[in-house]
Amino acid sequence: MRLDWNDYEGLHHSIAAQLNIPPGDLCYVHYVATRPQDLARANVEAFIAHREGDLQVGSLQRITLLDVEFHASNPLIDPEVVRKVFKVMDSSSISQESTSTVRGRNSAVWSGSTTI
């Protein structure tokens, strides 16, 4: 899908149509500045669609994209990619939790483009 970055209304309506939701239910479109590496290599932009009711007014939570790659021990097998949007108090809570779970294994954890 091609997006016209100079036409916010058109951008908003195009994304709502792609998600099959009414444009009025799409509150905001958050651009993901640090894209998952496979999307960046494919020159694909990433967005998080913030729909009505996703966060309560005044909430301190943030909408965060969690991108996880599971690599097989065989380097010829493509990694399995799982992406999901979560509501968290701050993104450092994900980083700390992830780091403690993978410590001692053959793993790497990134926050943005920084390896933790």
Confidence (pTM): 0.62
Domain count within the chain: 1
In a domain, 113, yes or no: no
Spell out the per-residue pLDDT of the chain, length 116, in tens. 777 878 888 988 999 999 899 999 998 888 888 888 888 889 988 888 888 888 887 888 888 888 877 777 788 888 888 888 878 776 555 555 444 445 445 666 666 666 66
In a domain, 15, yes or no: yes
In a domain, 111, yes or no: no
In a domain, 28, yes or no: yes
DSSP string, the chain: ----TT-HHHHHHHHHHHHTS-GGGEEEEEE-SS--HHHHHTT---EEEEETTSS-TT---EEEEEEEEE--SSTTSPPEEEEEEEEES-HHHHHHHHHHHHTTSS---EETTEE-
Range of the domain at 60: 8-104
